[in-house]
Copies of this chain bind each other. A is one copy, B any other.
Amino acid sequence: MARARIVDPEEGPRSKRGAILVAAVERFGEDGYENTKWSEVADRVGIGQTALYHYFESKAHCLLTIMRLELQRSHDQFVEATKDETEPVEELRAAVRTAFAVTEQEIRQMRILQANMSLLATPRKSKREETERVAARQLVQMVERDWTNLLMRGMSKGAYPVRDAHTLGLAVLGMIVSVWRWYRPSGAIPLSEISEMIEGCVVRMVAE
Interface residues of A, Cβ cutoff 8 Å to B: 31-32, 34-35, 115, 117-119, 121-122, 163-164, 167-168, 170-171, 173-175, 177-179, 181-182, 189, 193-194, 197-198, 200-201, 204-205, 208
Do residues A164 and B181 form an inter-chain contact, with CB atoms below 8 A?
A: no
A141 to chain B, nearest CB (A): 11
Q: Given A35-B122, A115-B118, A164-B189, answer yes or no on A174-B171 (Cβ-Cβ < 8 Å).
A: no
- Chain B residue at smallest Cβ distance from A174: B178
A173 to chain B, nearest CB (A): 8
A203 to chain B, nearest CB (A): 9
Separation of A179 and B178 alpha carbons in the complex (Å): 11
Do residues B32 and A163 form an inter-chain contact, with CB atoms below 8 A?
A: no
How many copies of the shown chain assemble into the complex? 2
Do residues A179 and B174 form an inter-chain contact, with CB atoms below 8 A?
A: yes
A32 to chain B, nearest CB (A): 5
Separation of A18 and B31 alpha carbons in the complex (Å): 32
Do residues B189 and A167 form an inter-chain contact, with CB atoms below 8 A?
A: yes
A32-B118, A170-B182, A171-B175 known; 8 new pairs, CB 8 Å cut-off, are A32-B119, A118-B181, A163-B197, A163-B200, A168-B201, A201-B205, A204-B205, A208-B208
B-side contacts of A115, CB under 8 Å: 117-118
Separation of A182 and B181 alpha carbons in the complex (Å): 17
Separation of A117 and B208 alpha carbons in the complex (Å): 33
